[in-house]
């Protein structure tokens, strides 16, 4: 039996079939069982605060006050965001001694104002700098399908919190796939909005050019409900009519070196969509093959991460995950000219994408080229870095293009990327909703 959606739970609350306190107690009990079993999804659980918020939500509902569809529902928060009264560690030991936050991050404040119950802070790749979700300090979350396989990062704990019904939805971030990768690996729907639609004030940055914040949840409608609160924008996200949609597919770069199961699931999905009346439109985008060369020096992420981390690395560098520190320090080697050329290359790629995709309703690709890797296959640095690069490859294309994308589950641990360019968030959610309905 599938877990209930935001809409279903909101309806149950409205009908009096359950209460926010009951939902929160159930979530807390699941978290306790998860932690007792050695699970690593949460960094911190605010049981007393969550129950107080749940009681307040029930009282408000009894008085006829329902702030949003999220009112009274447990939501988890990635450890990257400030929550007033709590220490923001960003999955690191280097921030252990920092003072508790004096105020909520803007995205957290919007969830709180919407009546969501903030159930706890979720684990993550240290400083969000990995697509695999490994954390040597606080443990590595695993997929719900196989405890030997990583949940994906960097929003690893957030994905597990939703997959294991410890939260109805999770607030995550996505710099190169950090919402969509764990969504794919954990059988969820994730949505990376156009950067800057959701404010990142009060969140530890990774790359100011590429960072975006968004939801991991159970359905496209759940992601749309979260996005409306987080962005403050009410988009028309009603599912489109699948028949006649122009769904673009390129076989270069994003389809290179796919795992056999990923390739099979992707082709089977395209065949089903075609049979339902969608138009699968092949196109070429060979310039994408230049991305590894463009980003060979660490890209925008290393340059911008170094700017934020350089003082902390000087003071606390020995407390970092050294795989993360190594990647951040690549930014120290970049010159101003390197950075300017990166920005120019990004603008050029964006122009090419806009030209090739001007008639597309969406661009489809496998969310991730491979299945979730086994943790024991990532022990050697060379294996970790090679796998991390492959896992990030497809979703990071969309961040580089400053686009938006959803990931839909199409097979166990395999996601379909439904992608658009700058500002096409509503259309991506409409098309994703149509595909979700067609495949159900």
Collapsed DSSP state (helix, strand, coil) of residue 320: coil
Alpha helix locations (H) across 63-218?
106-113, 156-163, 180-185
Give me the residue label for tokens 């050029």: 348
For 310, counting Cβ atoms within 10 Å of its Cβ (0-12 exposed, 13-18 middle, 19+ buried), the class is: middle
Residue 243: φ, ψ to 5°: -60, 125
| Lookup: tokens for 49 | 């605060």
Alpha carbons 120 and 97: distance in angstroms, whole number: 19
| Lookup: tokens for 334 | 């970049």
Alpha carbons 128 and 237: distance in angstroms, whole number: 29
Question: Which of the following is catalytic: 76, 154, 207, 219?
Answer: 154
Contacts (Cβ under 8 Å, ≥6 apart) of 90? 79, 80, 124, 126, 127, 128, 204
Question: Which of the following is catalytic: 125, 156, 161, 178?
Answer: 178
| Lookup: tokens for 271 | 């065949």
For 400, counting Cβ atoms within 10 Å of its Cβ (0-12 exposed, 13-18 middle, 19+ buried), the class is: buried
Alpha carbons 405 and 399: distance in angstroms, whole number: 9
Give me the residue label for tokens 């877990």: 3
Residue 10: φ, ψ to 5°: -60, -40
Annotated active-site residue 154? The verdict is yes
Other CB atoms within 10 A of residue 438 CB? 18
Residue 228: φ, ψ to 5°: -60, -40
- The CA-based dihedral angle spanning residues 425, 429, 434, 438, taken in that order and rounded to the nearest 10 degrees: 130
Beta carbons of 101 and 85 less than 8 angstroms apart: yes
Contacts (Cβ under 8 Å, ≥6 apart) of 86? 44, 46, 100, 101, 121
Q: Angle at the Cα of 70 (from 68 to 75), degrees rounded to 5? A: 150
Question: Which of the following is catalytic: 76, 78, 156, 407?
Answer: 78
Give one word for 190, left, alpha or beta, with left for phi > 0 and alpha for psi -120 to 50.
Answer: beta
Annotated active-site residue 78? The verdict is yes
Q: The dihedral of CA 435, 291, 404, 328: what is its sign?
A: positive
Alpha carbons 110 and 115: distance in angstroms, whole number: 9
Alpha carbons 342 and 372: distance in angstroms, whole number: 30
Residues designated as active site: 78, 154, 178
């Amino acid at each position: 039996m599938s877990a209930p959606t935001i809409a279903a739970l909101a309806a149950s609350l409205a009908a009096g079939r359950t209460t926010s306190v009951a939902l929160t107690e159930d979530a807390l009990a699941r978290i306790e069982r998860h932690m007792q079993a050695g699970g690593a999804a949460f960094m911190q659980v605010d049981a007393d605060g969550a129950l107080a918020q749940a009681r307040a939500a029930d009282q408000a509902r009894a008085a006829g006050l329902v702030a949003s569809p999220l009112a009274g529902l447990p939501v988890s928060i990635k450890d990257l965001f400030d929550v007033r009264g709590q220490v923001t560690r960003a999955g690191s030991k280097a921030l252990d001694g920092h003072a508790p936050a004096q105020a909520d991050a803007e995205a957290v404040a919007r969830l709180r104002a919407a009546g969501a119950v903030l159930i706890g802070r979720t684990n993550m790749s240290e400083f969000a700098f990995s697509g695999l979700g490994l954390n040597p300090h606080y443990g590595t979350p695993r997929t719900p399908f196989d405890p030997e396989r990583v949940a994906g990062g960097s929003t690893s704990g957030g994905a597990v919190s939703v997959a294991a019904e410890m939260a109805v939805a999770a607030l995550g971030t996505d710099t190169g796939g950090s919402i969509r990768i764990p969504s794919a690996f954990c059988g969820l729907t994730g949505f990376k909005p156009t950067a800057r639609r959701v404010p990142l004030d009060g969140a530890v940055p990774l790359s100011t050019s590429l960072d975006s914040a968004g939801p991991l949840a159970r359905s496209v409608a759940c992601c749309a409900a979260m996005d409306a609160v987080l962005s403050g924008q009410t988009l028309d996200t009603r599912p489109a009519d699948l028949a006649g949609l122009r769904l673009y597919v390129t076989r270069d770069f994003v389809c290179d070196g796919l795992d056999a199961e990923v390739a099979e699931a992707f082709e089977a999905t395209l065949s089903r969509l075609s049979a339902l009346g969608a138009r699968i439109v092949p196109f070429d985008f060979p310039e994408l093959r230049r991305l590894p060369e463009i980003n060979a020096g660490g890209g925008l992420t290393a340059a911008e991460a170094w700017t934020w981390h350089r003082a902390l690395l000087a003071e606390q560098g020995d407390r970092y995950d050294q795989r993360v520190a190594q990647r951040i320090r690549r930014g120290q080697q970049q010159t101003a000219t390197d950075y300017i050329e990166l920005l120019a290359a990004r603008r050029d790629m964006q122009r090419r994408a806009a030209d090739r995709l001007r008639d597309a309703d969406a661009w489809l690709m496998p969310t991730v080229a491979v299945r979730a890797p086994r943790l024991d296959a990532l022990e050697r640095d060379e294996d970790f870095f090679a796998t991390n690069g492959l896992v990030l490859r497809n979703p990071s294309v969309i961040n580089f293009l400053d686009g938006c994308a959803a990931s839909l589950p199409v097979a166990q641990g395999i996601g379909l990327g439904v992608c658009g360019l700058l500002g096409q968030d509503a259309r991506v959610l409409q098309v994703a909703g149509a595909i979700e309905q067609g495949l159900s």
